[in-house]
Amino acid sequence: MEKIICLWSCPRNVSTALMYSFRSRKDTDVYDEVLYGHYLSKSKLQHPGRDETLKSLECDGEKVIRDIILKPTNQINFHKLMTHFLIDLKLDFLKKVTNILFIREPREIIHSYHKVIPFPKIDDIGVEKQFKLYNHLKKTNNNVIILDSKDLLLEPEKTLRILCDEIKIPFDKKMLKWEKGPKKEDGVWAKYWYKNVHQSTCFKKYIERDIILDSKNIELENKCIKYYNILRENSLKF
């Protein structure tokens, strides 16, 4: 089976857990944020582990797309990516891959992101970028699947079965479990961002929480929520 899957996530989602889920399949290779070096190089942002990341990855985004994302395969290649990585890149390659927009409620993203990098900006959160990517894919007649992480955490098996059906690959029960600890596919930035997922062996049950944001982060949430609501309305139905 030949298939290239690009998961376009917002940050501080359960995207790494979903990558580990696909990693559990025997027919799938997974790739961790291969456009991160390009993004850091273009944005000039100071993320934790920036220098290590830039040294570990190819930073020419077009070369990454050509040589890594679109490289020929005789199985399934799953790429975990962040939507906000798409800076100064030609988007023609999206026609050649299966695109999944992986969304999360802005309040939850902001609350989690703020713990690592205080007071994120709208470009950091990626929700507006996801909305723009969704519109681009629709205008260019590319199929796009929208998956909300809340649905995945509430009903992992049911959600993964529906997702696999949409992707047109068979569901594999092994996707529901993975071994604890770091994985060889993890990027060098894992030590800064993956502490919780490295303690997991499955998708943790979604728990509704009372999240309190300060005024600056509430302002950011208000900017993002309209984009999230539209994406949510068009997400996979259960």
**What residues does each domain of the chain span?**
3-233
What pLDDT digit, counting tens, does each position of 148-204 carry?
Answer: 999 999 999 999 999 999 999 999 999 999 999 999 999 999 999 899 999 999 999
The reported pLDDT for the residue numbered 143 is 87
For residues 69 and 34, is the Cβ–Cβ distance under 8 A?
Answer: yes
The reported pLDDT for the residue numbered 209 is 83
Instruction: With 0.85 as the threshold, say if the pTM is over it.
Output: yes
| Cβ burial 34-60 (10 Å sphere, 16+ → b, else e) | bbbbbbbbeeeeebebbeebeeebebe
Dist. CA 60–CA 95, nearest whole Å: 20
Q: Which residues of the chain have pLDDT under 70?
A: none
What CATH class has 3-233? alpha beta
